[in-house]
């Protein structure tokens, strides 16, 4: 698959996630995390007064009650890519909690992607 096919795949799946979560809050594609060094494919924040979810969508009810970071994968992710996603998630959680002084940076200090470094 050429690069444009990958981009179309990613954009399609981001649009699906945004459309599915829209009734329950606000979503943003390519959400910048911590000074724009990292980007989440989709970031979702639930509405203050969320809509009622039908009982047969109980899992969706739980998913849309809290902030959600979504990464779209075309193929099975490698351990390095999974580590990067975990680092993005930890960064976003620390930002939300206001702990900007202790953030986890992937590839910082001259490291390779997938190497996490704790920076004070």
Q: What is the pLDDT of residues 75-98, one digit of tens each?
A: 899 999 899 889 888 888 888 887
- Spatial distance between the Cα atoms of 59 and 11, rounded to a whole number of angstroms: 24
pLDDT (average), residues 89-110: 64
pTM reported for the whole predicted model: 0.68
- Spatial distance between the Cα atoms of 18 and 1, rounded to a whole number of angstroms: 24
Domain boundaries defined on the chain? 3-119
Tokens of 18: 């945004």
- Spatial distance between the Cα atoms of 92 and 102, rounded to a whole number of angstroms: 12
| pLDDT at residue 28 greater than cutoff 90 | yes
| pLDDT at residue 65 greater than cutoff 70 | yes
């Amino acid at each position: 698959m050429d690069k444009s096919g990958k981009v179309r795949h990613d954009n399609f799946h981001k649009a699906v996630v945004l459309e599915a979560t829209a009734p329950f809050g606000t979503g943003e594609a390519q959400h910048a995390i911590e000074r724009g060094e990292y980007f989440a494919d989709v970031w979702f924040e639930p509405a203050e007064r969320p809509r009622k979810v039908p009982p047969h969508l109980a899992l969706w009810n739980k998913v849309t009650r809290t902030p959600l970071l979504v990464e779209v994968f075309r193929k099975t992710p490698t351990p390095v890519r999974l580590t990067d996603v975990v680092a993005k998630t930890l960064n976003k959680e620390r930002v939300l909690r206001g702990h900007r002084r202790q953030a986890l940076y992937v590839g910082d200090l001259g490291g390779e992607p997938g190497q996490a470094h704790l920076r004070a």
